[in-house]
A and B are shown apart, each in its own frame.
Chain A
Amino acid sequence: MVFSSIVFLFKYLPIVLAVYYIVPAKWRNVWLFIVNLVFYGWGEPVYILLMLFSIAVNYANGLFIAKYRENSRNTAKNILILNIVINLALLIFFKYYDLLAETLSMLPGISIKALGLGLPIGISFYTFQAMSYPIDVYRGDTEAQRNPVLFGTYISLFPQLIAGPIVRYKDVAEQLSSRTHSVDKFSSGVCRFTVGLGKKVLIANNIGALWDIYAVKGAADLTVLGSWMGIIAFTLQIYFDFSGYSDMAIGLGRMLGFEFLENFNYPYISKSVTEFWRRWHISLGTWFRDYVYIPLGGNRRGLKRQLLNILIVWALTGIWHGANWTFLVWGLYYALFLVIEKTFLLKALDKVPSFFRHLYTMLVVTCGWAIFQLDSMKAVWTYFKAMFGGGAAGLYVSGDIYYLASFAVIIILAALFSTDILKKLWSGIPRRITKILCPVGIICILVLSTAYLVDSTYNPFLYFRF
């Protein structure tokens, strides 16, 4: 199930919230656990079993590690390694089997059949969440969770189950057993959820239609103007889609009493690629930093080792996003820019006017999305050629002008909303005005989003490959 759907908003959510607040507090987590599984199983009921298996394994291993971590460090470590292997094995099997089979079959004498299994939705998100828990227990950062329902609720928590943020166990451990509910918290959750819904339904879906027009054009039809409009549209679409999802997750969390960490912080106002990755999908970056980069030695073992660590982390970050080698290229593309910035460019950029720093960053990011979203490096190459004037279709055709006219308003609005200008303006408005504007805004967004969802010809789920 996805948040931006009629079924979720007007059937699932009213029931979930009503029962949640009616039943006695001690039953709330049990209720959440049940509805999490309904949410998860909606698309692929069979994979509920996979989810339950994942919960059981990590739950049990967490207990074992907690038992042995003081007295028998080695046993604890072996269990931890086993646990990581099981988690990764599941992830690799369900997500990368076909890619590996296809790639290995290119070697002479090897022929492995692809299985064509459907990717369990959100597997990359919840596997990472689940893996973090025994590691935190092993490190002594948190106590083991003895209550299987609480642990199951954590792993399968529907607000962030399918598109993040990746919530680490230690960040919500206390909230699982005791969290506060208040009118203020619920209301702030509503505001946040509504903003996220508007970002997804009104902006991302709208502008995504433009990318879809250009993504399928071949070399012969892809003009300079068209290819730029297309990739700019996708740049805006993925930000509004993804950060909208995170907003909705954080908002839903608050309605249920949870506080999750932020996942996006206006990434498109960044003035360097390094800064961009501190602002984009923060929970994923934090995860890789804490569980891969720092354990590998981080920056404490000399520059060469640090550069290697960066390379490893970004190769993994890339391929985490989907079972296609283009994602690996995309990760390495960022590793390259991060290394260049780390070695000398950041210092050089300091002397450049911020407009150019911003331009440089957005150019890197925008081109990056072409590698990210197109299916093959051949398509990426064709697209880049068109963008930089090496294509066969010329500067523009009349159709491009039509799409430009049709999408100009939404592109400008989206570009504006992707910066923190609105936030600054909002904080400058006197409170007596914002307290009227806020409810009016909520009503407008809810009504318009509903209209778009009822007549939804286009409502993609971008993370089906994650």
Chain B
Amino acid sequence: MKIKNNILPLLIFTIFIGAFFVLNLALPDRDFSQQENRALQKCPAFSLSSLFSGSYTSDYEKYSADQFALRDMWMPLKARAELLIGKTENNGVYYCGDTLIKQFEAPDAQKLEVKVDAVNTFASKLNVPVYFGLIPGASDVWHGKLPQNAPNSSQKELIDECYSRCSAKCIDIYSLLQSHSSEAIYYRTDHHWTSLGAYYGYEALSATMGYAAPDLSTYDRKIVTDSFCGTNWSSSGFTWVRPDSIETFVDDSGVEVDSYSKGTDSLPVQSGLYAKDYLNKKDKYSYFMGGVTPLLHVKTGNTSAPSLLIIRDSYTDSLLPFLTQNYSDIYVIDLRYFRNDAAEFAKEKHVDSVLILYSVSNFCADDNIVMLGA
């Protein structure tokens, strides 16, 4: 019997590492992780130069972790273990009951000043009104849901500092969202605002931008999916949190969208306010406007209404349906991919006003905003 007892550790260990060795070889590599919503590292091609530069081995290590057998099962296991030992955060996402909120850490004030100055420079080049809006995220507006004492920078202070430096017409979105903080204005599993949150954003913009926002009760709200698992769900490993539903408020009839997926010089593709394909994919938020595009041209039936240029991040995607009620032509630029001069573009299209609209987190993270000041 003695031998039998001593052989157990040997068997457990060799079978464990041997089984995963074989499984990793046998299971096909995946290009994309639906659960994590990101491209996975493929097996790097071997070359002497990549070996000696060190990129081969580091890519190979990433590849081994990304393509590890049953990866989608290991991540939630780690997340559960972290919760069990008293941590309420995993991979930068706070676990707040049925809500997941991404941690926010304010960047250097100087870095922000450069971006606000770029906005100022941009505004000074144009003769039409330039509006500037920063959208607070759940980590601030839903501060009360965070784990007790959770370290988290204030977005309100950051917005105030940026606005006090900004010479464009700044729009207070924070106050209205804050006053509706008890409602479902952000997704529980994603960093974006919900269509309801976007409505309040639309309402907040109306006062300064001078259009009339119809009352909330006038909309015909439709749930288009109830299985949306957002980015916080993906990156945190807290995959047992129940999915969100996505709503639409505004009908897309009569609205045409030209999507310049390769920039202004290419021919546009016809798209719409809503891209139904995405409802069957992991990235369901891209249902709004069909995901990132360098330039969109939204043409509404309100031909007598003014035109608008929006320099934006993805929060604008779910806001656009509301704006179609008040504008004729809306041009939407994503600075990460738009390679022309935005001010020149605004003049060329004779837009009546410009809106620079960013979520606080993207405004902090995206350095392309500096290009506005060029």
Contacts and interface: CB of A to CB of B under 8 A. Distances in A.
Nearest to B58: A43
Contact of A190 (B3, B13, B65): B13
A442 B12 contact: yes
B89 interface: yes
A191 B68 CA distance: 24
Contact of A451 (B14, B24, B77, B87): B77
A187 interface: yes
B61 A5 contact: yes
B75 interface: yes
Contacts of B89: 406
B12 to A, nearest CB: 5
A435 interface: yes
Contact of A452 (B57, B78, B150): B78
Given A442-B9, A446-B12, A9 B17 contact: yes
B88 interface: yes
Interface in A392-409: 398-399, 401-403, 405-409
B5 interface: yes
B10 A186 contact: yes
B253 to A, nearest CB: 45
A457 interface: yes
Contacts of B17: 9-10, 13-14
Interface in B1-47: 3, 5-10, 12-14, 16-18, 20-21, 24
Interface residues on B, range: 35 or more
Interface in A1-48: 5-7, 9-11, 13-15, 17-18, 42-46
Contacts, number: 126
9 closest cross-chain pairs (CB), A and B = A402-B149, A399-B151, A190-B9, A187-B9, A454-B74, A14-B21, A451-B77, A190-B13, A451-B78
Contacts of B114: none
8 contacts: A6-B68, A10-B17, A191-B9, A442-B9, A442-B12, A446-B13, A455-B79, A456-B65
Given A405-B149, A455-B74, A184 B13 contact: no
Interface in A188-232: 188, 190-191, 193-194, 206
Interface residues of A, number: 54
Contact of A10 (B64, B78, B91): B64
Contact of B78 (A183, A405, A407, A454): A454
B7 A187 contact: yes
Contacts of B176: none
Given A7-B60, A456-B65, A183 B6 contact: yes
A410 interface: yes
Contacts of A452: 78, 81
A413 B65 CA distance: 28
Main secondary structure of the interface of B (DSSP, over half): helix
A455 B75 contact: yes
Contacts of B150: 399, 402
A439 interface: yes
Interface of A: 5-7, 9-11, 13-15, 17-18, 42-46, 183-184, 186-188, 190-191, 193-194, 206, 398-399, 401-403, 405-410, 413, 435, 438-439, 442-443, 446-448, 450-457
Contacts of B110: none
Contacts of B13: 190, 193-194, 442, 446
Contacts of B85: 206, 409-410, 413
A184 B7 CA distance: 7
Given A402-B147, A405-B148, A447-B77, 4 more contacts: A6-B65, A184-B6, A451-B78, A454-B78
Contact of A409 (B74, B86, B88): B86
A18 B6 CA distance: 20
A183 B7 contact: yes
A399 B105 CA distance: 13
A439 B65 contact: no
Contacts of B71: 454
B87 to A, nearest CB: 5
Contacts of B88: 406
Nearest to B23: A10
A222 to B, nearest CB: 14
Given A6-B61, A446-B16, A187 B91 contact: no
Contact of B8 (A42, A187, A413): A187
A448 B76 CA distance: 11
Contacts of B133: none
A456 B66 CA distance: 10
